A and B are shown apart, each in its own frame.
Chain A
Amino acid sequence: MEKPEKLIVDGKRLDGRGPEELRPLKIQAGALKRADGSAYVELGANKVLAAVYGPRELHPRHMQQPDTAVLRCRYNMAPFSVEERKRPGPDRRSVEISKVIREALEPVVFTKLYPRSGIDVFVEVLQADAGTRTAGITAAAVALADAGVPMRDLVSAVAVGKVDDTIVLDLTKEEDQFGTTDMPVAMLPRKRVITLLQMDGSFIEEEFERALALAMKGCEQIYEAQKQALKARYSIKPEEG
């Protein structure tokens, strides 16, 4: 990929969005048959599936906790999801992302209700265009709800960053690669508290505060879409015939 001369021209980004606009977002609750809960998220060119199994008996048994369920997360990218084929299997990046996704979701799950059991969350990236960990969290939260796991709230996530000295919402791959800063954020929308915060690049104080506020605004929009997706699946439709 060549570096474009400018990533923002006349206040518009390369894909025509304004700085504070999300990419087109589609969320479907319940996308898979066998999983206890599942969700499919498209955010721009990102295509992400999440599946939840459990609460179920946890194996290996030595991992079982007498007072709580264990939440496990696996984030995986399909080999064909990126420009150059990714070698299958976990690498350092996906191990770290699995860890931060788990930590972003764990605050909402009532794990204490299910001693000795495990709740498995699988996030599968089918097509990647930056922001896959946040799209994965968004999908996983809907999948957990779809599985009927008792939760305090949903978790909504989006990345913000700095591109051509402008704070922007929801970076694309180009903006991530050639921009200055990338900051994924996950939020519990009702309490407005942060459960995932990572950042690399460069922010001064004022930029950081603006970026965080913008991320939280983005999360609110995503939250609405998550609720809509769950309503669409579970609202009672008028009887047919």
Chain B
Amino acid sequence: MYEIISSVKRDYIADLARQEKRADARALDQYREVSVETGLIKSAQGSALVKIGNTQVLAGVKLERVEPFPDTPNSGVLMVNAELRPLASPTFEAGPPDENSIELARVVDRGIRESESIDLDKLGITPGKEVWAVYIDLHVLDYDGNLIDAASLAAIAALWNVKKPQVEGWTLDEFPVLKKPVAVTVVKIGEKLMVDPSLDEENVMDARLTISTLEDGSICAMQKGGVWCLTVEEIKAAYGLARAKAAELREHLK
């Protein structure tokens, strides 16, 4: 998935970062333009298209009756899957999911699961026999950096888009979605931290830290990535940024 980046460009972006500047003239704590459109896909029970700059991720929620897991006989099942479609980038290849798409799906999954954003206990049908499964499928359409934030926002927007599900045998009044976890990815380039990395910034970053927070500012999931390290001060600063930016992004979920 890593693109080859020329050393001229690498030095340029690193130099700019040193001066607290970015190639697209954004501030270090500024997102590209964010948009969230919901309900575009009629065949899904919930859907959302999120754009962050040129990056586009489409999330669809499907509900199906399945057999429960033996250890939770009366709880619904949550499944998150991510597809890095080859139409989204010259570096994506067709075939089984690679580690990047698996990481993406699992980071989005943890944000939703660990915050208990869906009340899975309400999704039982017949104990031990049948429960509702919530499938969240993330379709990456255009990759220009910061997939994790776009995919997380798309997933939670699609979940909130499920109103009264139009599926046969649906018994509840409402779809039991309760919270709005929002993931914010902070990358480190040299000594500087910035949010919402563009593709070029992602390619030259030293490390990234994704922090999913809830409305009250508490953390529900984290994931560090990249092949360099973060100091404790940087981690704390990233948390501050994540909280502030999550509040901004959450505005798009209204």
Q: Is the CB of B229 within 8 A of A208?
A: no
In the complex, what residues of B have CB within 8 A of residue A140's CB? none
Give Cα A216–Cα B97 distance, bound, in whole angstroms. Answer: 34
In the complex, what residues of B have CB within 8 A of residue A201's CB? 114, 220
Give the residue name and chain of the B residue nearest to A103 (CB). Answer: B227
Q: How large is the interface on B (under 10, 10 to 19, 20 to 34, 35 or more residues)?
A: 20 to 34
Whether A107 contacts B239 in the complex (CB less than 8 A), given A199-B222, A202-B220, comes out as no
Give Cα A63–Cα B229 distance, bound, in whole angstroms. Answer: 24
Q: Is the CB of B239 within 8 A of A98?
A: no
In the complex, what residues of A have CB within 8 A of residue B228's CB? 107, 195
Q: Is the CB of B232 within 8 A of A196?
A: no
Q: Is the CB of B227 within 8 A of A107?
A: yes
Give Cα A100–Cα B227 distance, bound, in whole angstroms. Answer: 9
Choose, from A18-26, A45-53, A185-193, the stretch at the interface. Answer: A185-193
In the complex, what residues of B have CB within 8 A of residue A82's CB? none
B181 to chain A minimum Cβ distance, whole angstroms, is 11
Q: Is the CB of B236 within 8 A of A209?
A: yes
Name the prevailing secondary structure of the B interface residues: mixed
In the complex, what residues of A have CB within 8 A of residue B236's CB? 209
- Quick one: which of A95, A103, A183 contacts B102, CB cutoff 8 A? A95
Whether A197 contacts B227 in the complex (CB less than 8 A), given A92-B102, A98-B99, A192-B232, comes out as no
Q: Is the CB of A204 within 8 A of B218?
A: yes
Q: Is the CB of B106 within 8 A of A194?
A: no
Give Cα A237–Cα B173 distance, bound, in whole angstroms. Answer: 75
Q: Is the CB of A92 within 8 A of B105?
A: yes
Give the residue name and chain of the B residue nearest to A193 (CB). Answer: B229
CB of B177 within 8 Å of the partner chain? no
Q: Is the CB of B235 within 8 A of A194?
A: yes
Give the residue name and chain of the A residue nearest to B229 (CB). Answer: A193
Q: Told that A99-B103, A199-B219 touch, could you supply 8 new A-B pairs with CB distance under 8 A? A: A99-B102, A102-B227, A103-B226, A194-B230, A197-B230, A198-B222, A208-B239, A212-B235
